[in-house]
Amino acid sequence: MTSANSRLRFAPSPTGFLHVGNARAALFNWLEARRTGGEMRLRVEDTDRERSSSELVENILTSLRWLGLDWDGEIVVQADNLQAHREAALSLLDQGRAYWCDCVSEAVQARAKARGGPPGYDGFCRTRGLARSDATALRFRTPDDGVTGFTDLVRGEVSFENKTIEDFVLLRSTGMPMFLLSNAYDDAAMGITHVVRGEDHVPGTPKYLLLRDALGLGRPEVFAHLPMLVNEGRKKLSKRKDAVSVADFAAQGYLPEAMVNYLALLGWGPSDGIEIRPLAEIIEQFRLEDVTPSPAFFDVKKLQHINAEYLRALPVDEFIERARPFLSGPEVEAVLTTIAPLIQERVRLFTEIEPMVAFLLDGPLTPDDASWDKAMVKGINAREMVDAAIAGLTQVTEWEVEPIRAAVEAAAVSAGVVNAQGEAQLSKAQGPVRVATTGRSVGPPLFESLAALGQTRTLDRLRAARARL
């Protein structure tokens, strides 16, 4: 299985951005190639001129690079091989393995409906002997009997009776080759040994095989059809309906290494059960034959968990460095630096940082209603607590965590926020102070936050809050 000269490929179509399903397919190809010391090639399948665009090619390349999935050699652009694809198709025409057909899709459907049979092409033009024109497409003539099958590393033996495979289009009436032709031809031309792609390609595989056989192109060594990635409705992920763009995840503040780690877990799992681990170990343990055949739900919650783990594991300097693109400016970066370690273990995404450090920025603070209500309205002796805090904090000469803590503790006692033993109840007492100074009822540890805020701003905010009470 471990052939040192294996050659795999990821062949996206630039008719959409790179989504997590594509990314997972790219990753599994990449893992197999890197583990075996084989090659990972990239091919752009742009035979649909109407829907392909260079912007989409850029999006795909950018996302692949972001994920760290590199490739070997030059990118193969299918449009560059049009001529070879056409010639191959025409050679089939010469052999009588293909024929011209002028049936438009509507006509095919209408006939199917009229005869009450199954939808799909019925071989209407097989014997009509049509000539090539700008209204005819070239169709491949599939065998009427026999079986076409293949061995799939994920699914075992899969076979189709040839009579169930309809004649399919090789060349459009415009002369442009169709996906199946270009795909099969280029796989052979590139010497692809392992065809690893989504399960949605299974029904097309016998056509692919029949074509390669007819063209005398041989067959790839291995097929592996990966399970679909599905949404909460257990339906195949849709670029249109589901939020699955890799670029979007990048923009939301996910770490590429976390994304890759999570993607590796969809349809595969290490036998020792250790899910979060270095890429090198994943490469080492990954086996195509261990991929699960059943569909997997893309669970953002779990992705977030894994991302948070990776975020916390970052050296604090790197955390700040990598957070920079997600911060609105140098001011935010400056304040983040003062309490980064406290923030780092509280965020799951880079985009969660800014709201958490916003209180350290200059300017007026408007506590959110829910927090105000919770601490100031429903809190115990909120007014007394704020008064006592102002008085106590004013006296603090060394504006550092411990003195601040001592002052708030003393304020709690004088404000009557105490337990049965008459001791300060910090968990209750900090509420009004926290909301007054940070605007929220949750956040980084309070005394550290106040130390970073500074005495003047702390007192200003406490007084402003007191005025509202």
Residues designated as active site: 239
State how far the Cα of 48 lies from the Cα of 27, in Å rounded to an integer. Answer: 25
Please report how close the Cβ of residue 46 comes to RNA at its closest, in angstroms: 7
> Which of the residues 313 through 372 are near RNA (CB under 7 A)?
345-346
Contact (Cβ atoms closer than 8 angstroms) between residue 227 and residue 293: yes
292 binds RNA (CB under 7 A): yes
Please report how close the Cβ of residue 78 comes to RNA at its closest, in angstroms: 8
> Which of the residues 214 through 233 are near RNA (CB under 7 A)?
227-228, 230, 233
Which helix (DSSP H) or strand (DSSP E) does residue 207 occupy? helix 205-214
State how far the Cα of 55 lies from the Cα of 62, in Å rounded to an integer. Answer: 10
State the residue for tokens 């390609």.
201
CB nearer to RNA: pick between 15 and 62: 15
Cα–chain-centroid distance for residue 163? 39
248 binds RNA (CB under 7 A): no
- Quick one: which of 1, 5, 15, 4 has its CA closest to 44? 15
Look up residue 389 and give its two tokens.
């805090």
State how far the Cα of 150 lies from the Cα of 219, in Å rounded to an integer. Answer: 10
> Which of the residues 411 through 430 are near RNA (CB under 7 A)?
426-427, 430
Stretch that binds RNA, among 32-40, 56-64, 251-259, 286-294 (CB under 7 A): 286-294
199 binds RNA (CB under 7 A): yes
294 binds RNA (CB under 7 A): yes
Please report how close the Cβ of residue 206 comes to RNA at its closest, in angstroms: 8
> 354-384 in b/e burial notation, b at 16+ Cβ within 10 A?
bebbbbbeeeebebeeebbeebbeebbbbeb
Q: Which of 235, 241, 378, 468 binds RNA (CB under 7 A)?
A: 235
Q: Collapsing DSSP states into helix, strand and coil, what is residue 121?
A: coil
Q: 235 to each of 120, 185, 212, 239, 454, how far by Cα in Å? A: 23, 31, 31, 12, 53
293 binds RNA (CB under 7 A): yes
105 binds RNA (CB under 7 A): yes
174 binds RNA (CB under 7 A): yes
Please report how close the Cβ of residue 191 comes to RNA at its closest, in angstroms: 20
Stretch that binds RNA, among 199-207, 212-220, 390-398, 458-466 (CB under 7 A): 199-207
CB nearer to RNA: pick between 146 and 293: 293
> Which of the residues 146 through 165 are near RNA (CB under 7 A)?
155-161, 164
CB nearer to RNA: pick between 201 and 219: 201
- Quick one: which of 270, 466, 267, 307 has its CA closest to 383? 466
> Which of the residues 375 through 414 are near RNA (CB under 7 A)?
401, 405
Contact (Cβ atoms closer than 8 angstroms) between residue 124 and residue 97: no
> Which of the residues 53 through 92 are near RNA (CB under 7 A)?
none
DSSP 201: G
Please report how close the Cβ of residue 345 comes to RNA at its closest, in angstroms: 5
178 binds RNA (CB under 7 A): yes
447 binds RNA (CB under 7 A): yes
284 binds RNA (CB under 7 A): no
Please report how close the Cβ of residue 371 comes to RNA at its closest, in angstroms: 9
Contact (Cβ atoms closer than 8 angstroms) between residue 429 and residue 385: yes
Please report how close the Cβ of residue 129 comes to RNA at its closest, in angstroms: 16
CB nearer to RNA: pick between 302 and 457: 302
Alpha-carbon torsion (267, 271, 274, 277), positive or negative: negative
CB nearer to RNA: pick between 255 and 329: 255
Identity of residue 383:
R
173 binds RNA (CB under 7 A): yes
120 binds RNA (CB under 7 A): yes
202 binds RNA (CB under 7 A): yes
Stretch that binds RNA, among 64-72, 87-95, 263-271, 327-335 (CB under 7 A): 263-271
Count of residues near RNA by CB under 7 A: 89
Please report how close the Cβ of residue 388 comes to RNA at its closest, in angstroms: 16
DSSP state letters, 318-383: HHHHHHGGGSSSHHHHHHHHHHHHHHHTT-SSGGGHHHHHGGGSSS-----HHHHIIIIISSTTHH
State how far the Cα of 113 lies from the Cα of 107, in Å rounded to an integer. Answer: 10
